[in-house]
Structure 1
């Protein structure tokens, strides 16, 4: 009898553990990339990155970059990102700053080709997905810090 109860309890615990692994989660990182402010959000299930969204802001005064130079920089970036399956690229050239938004959907297209073309963290050898721990390690190595989520009582 005790073994039956223990077996049922283990089964229920396993189901909850599996359900938690399938839950979509996200982490946001902030950092400075050659003077530009970058915010990146990783969306993942278990250890598999599903999406990566980044916003880069170049403030002309803060960065010492002219509006035309910022436009040239983003035009080069656009050539890299445009036309890649699974990638959405947008840019805005404003009076005081330039903004670049890049969304990468890892569930669309060939992940290995996509990550190689974009020069970002790709799948580990023998894997067909991007591991969240590998991306986090690369982000931290580049000087990015995890931004803690806001809480209701803060």
Structure 2
């Protein structure tokens, strides 16, 4: 009886683990790039990076720049991202801050070409996908820290 129960528990645990491995997961990182606050979320499955969403916020007063200077900075960055397959770009120029939102879909047909054009971490040699661990290493090297998920207080 004990063996049967243990076998069922192990079987259910195995099924649960396999189901969890098949789901998309995400991690969020926060950092600072030349005075701008950046929040980036990586969505992945296994070791394959699927998507990256970033929000960059430039507060004019905190960075000692004017609204028009911030707009010029984002206009230059927009040139890099606009028209690239797999990338969506949006900017908002507000009274007190400028916000840039970038979404990168790593499941595009030519991920190698896209990552090279953007100057970001690309696929390892011989692979057709970007390894999430490589991107995490690059982010940590740039000073980003993983933001721990909020937990429910039951």
- Structure 2 length normalisation: TM-score? 0.89
Alpha-carbon distance between aligned partners in 2 of 1:134 and 1:48, rounded to the nearest angstrom? 10
Alpha-carbon distance between aligned partners in 2 of 1:37 and 1:44, rounded to the nearest angstrom? 23
Q: What corresponds to 1:106 in structure 2?
A: 106
Alpha-carbon distance between aligned partners in 1 of 2:22 and 2:112, rounded to the nearest angstrom? 23
Q: What corresponds to 1:147 in structure 2?
A: 147
Aligned 1:76-115 pairs, distance under 5 A: 76-115=76-115
Q: What corresponds to 1:4 in structure 2?
A: none
RMSD of aligned C-alpha atoms?
Answer: 2.2
How far did 1:149 drift? 0.4
Q: Is 1:117 the equivalent of 2:130?
A: no
Alpha-carbon distance between aligned partners in 1 of 2:84 and 2:11, rounded to the nearest angstrom? 43
Segments of 5+ residues of structure 2 without an aligned counterpart are 1-6
Segments of 5+ residues of structure 1 without an aligned counterpart are 1-6
Alpha-carbon distance between aligned partners in 1 of 2:123 and 2:18, rounded to the nearest angstrom? 23
- Structure 1 length normalisation: TM-score? 0.89
Alpha-carbon distance between aligned partners in 1 of 2:14 and 2:123, rounded to the nearest angstrom? 28
- Between 18-27 and 41-50, the greater mean CA deviation after superposition: 18-27
Alpha-carbon distance between aligned partners in 2 of 1:100 and 1:51, rounded to the nearest angstrom? 17
How far did 1:21 drift? 2.2
